[in-house]
Structure 1
Amino acid sequence: MSHVYFTAMKDARGELLNGSTTYTVTFPKNRLPSELTKYFWSIVAVDTKDFKVIPNPANKFIINNQTGVKPNSDGSVTLYFSSKLPEGVPQENWMPTPAGANYNLTFRFYGPTKELQDGRYYPPALVKQPSLAKAD
């Protein structure tokens, strides 16, 4: 198997992803995406109708192993999904989302590990972050 895709349509509470909210996903230090793939991993935001990449004013369309994602102090990695860059968040860890519109995220793993291929691994749940400023 050359690749594995996951689609996230809802957050950890079962609510549809919407650009009026900020979400995070945290990969633990021992479960980083780069350790689950031989070649590369990526995450893109896509519309809910045609699953096409969503245009955004920042012209940023992907987070992957080539975009310089910054680890947390404990070695984990937290990625942010919001229509505006949350204060204090590294731009490399942020994916712009459509303000006020529903969207999906596609997680792509190329050269996946056996664990991914066998369905023993799923990306962590997306968590709504009410403490971060709401996106406009």
Structure 2
Amino acid sequence: MAHRVLDPDPLKAKATASALRLYPYSQRDNPLPTLHLSPNGRKWSGTQPRGLLYWQGLAKALESEPVLDRDRIMLGMLQPLGIEKDKHFKPDEIQKKILTEAALVGEAMARAIGYAKRFNNVKVWPGKQWDISLFLKETSQETPTHTQFDERTSWFYEAVGVSAGMMGREVGAGQVYLEAAKDKNAQWLQGEKNYHLHVPANAPVVQFWSFTVYDNETRCFVDTGLKPDRSSRDEIIKNSDGSVDLYFGPKAPKDKPATNWIKTNPGKGWFTYFRLYGPTQAYFDRSWILPDIEALK
């Protein structure tokens, strides 16, 4: 189980994380120690494999997963493909070709659903490029009339988990995830171009805000060897009115503070999450407005 601690004090954060214990309820009276593994210094990929490897991984994962009611329709659709619980996945050459192409087409559909969201009221502010990234009604992805299939596809193509606290429903608590994949002129964000974002003063947060850049193919942090994010808790340069100017591009701008710059990779597209930790009323009534990301000449 992955977890993170938001306390800015590294000693307090380590103590909080170390105190977390996970064990079967049946062992609650005498649980085994919980093993904590730090990702620091490790390079790993959270990207799903493509092509036939996707189906092979899916078949393998199915072996260790319980069959839930919500999954039965999907499992029924997998059976004609040769993927079935407690049965070995052995596609022939024709099936391999078809499944390889199907995985690529399916991912293209997921990317379109995620990066060009078309849900009603998904825009945070009218006329802006910022979307509400986590657009599920409930963590179950169920509504009184239907399952949120496309909304689920959009979120889980980009992310790996969901909780009630991530849905941004309560003033002063939880988080809000705002997403942009295009600039002010509705052009896709590109790693070879330079961009600017002005974050107005008095951001609507109890805790802090953060801006993170992700590769739009891997959905992982942009791999530049440098930090892929900036937040209001970092040592960034603020303007006299408390606002912040952030910059993005393959090279640090010569006349701007490097602390306010995030490096991007030429030839690779990117998208971002602007997170509000502990969103305040100014977010919910939309009185605080985050401008669009602008391309620089």
Partner of 1:52: 220
Is 1:92 the equivalent of 2:259?
yes
How many percent identity over aligned positions?
A: 30
Aligned match for 1:62, one of 200, 207, 229: 229
Match of 1:127 in 2: 294
Separation in structure 2 between the aligned mates of residue 104 and residue 14 of structure 1, nearest angstrom:
13
SS at match of 2:209: strand
Tell me the equivalent position of 2:186. 14
Q: Secondary structure at the match of 1:92?
A: helix
Partner SS state of residue 220, structure 2 = coil
Q: Residue type matched to 1:52 in 2?
A: C
The 3 A distance-change label for structure 1 pair 5 and 120 is farther
SS in 2 for 1:86: coil
Measured against aligned partners, the alpha-carbon deviations of 1:46-76 in whole angstroms (never above 9, x if no partner) come to 111342111113x212100122121235543
Task: Report how far residue 92 of structure 1 moved.
Answer: 1.2
Would you say 1:26 and 2:193 are equivalent positions? no
Shift of 1:122: 4.3
Per the alignment, do residues 72 and 5 of structure 1 end up closer, same or farther by CA in structure 2, a change over 3 Å counting? same
The CA deviation at 1:115 is: 2.5
**Structure with the higher fraction of residues in helix conformation:** 2
Structure number having the greater strand percentage: 1
TM-score with structure 2 setting the length: 0.39
| Count of residue pairs brought into register by the alignment | 125
Higher relative contact order by CA 8 Å / sep ≥ 6: 1 or 2? 1
Is this contact kept in 2: 1:32–1:77, CA < 8 A? no
Q: Report the structure number with the largest CA radius of gyration.
A: 2
Q: Which 5+ residue runs of structure 2 have no aligned equivalent?
A: 1-169
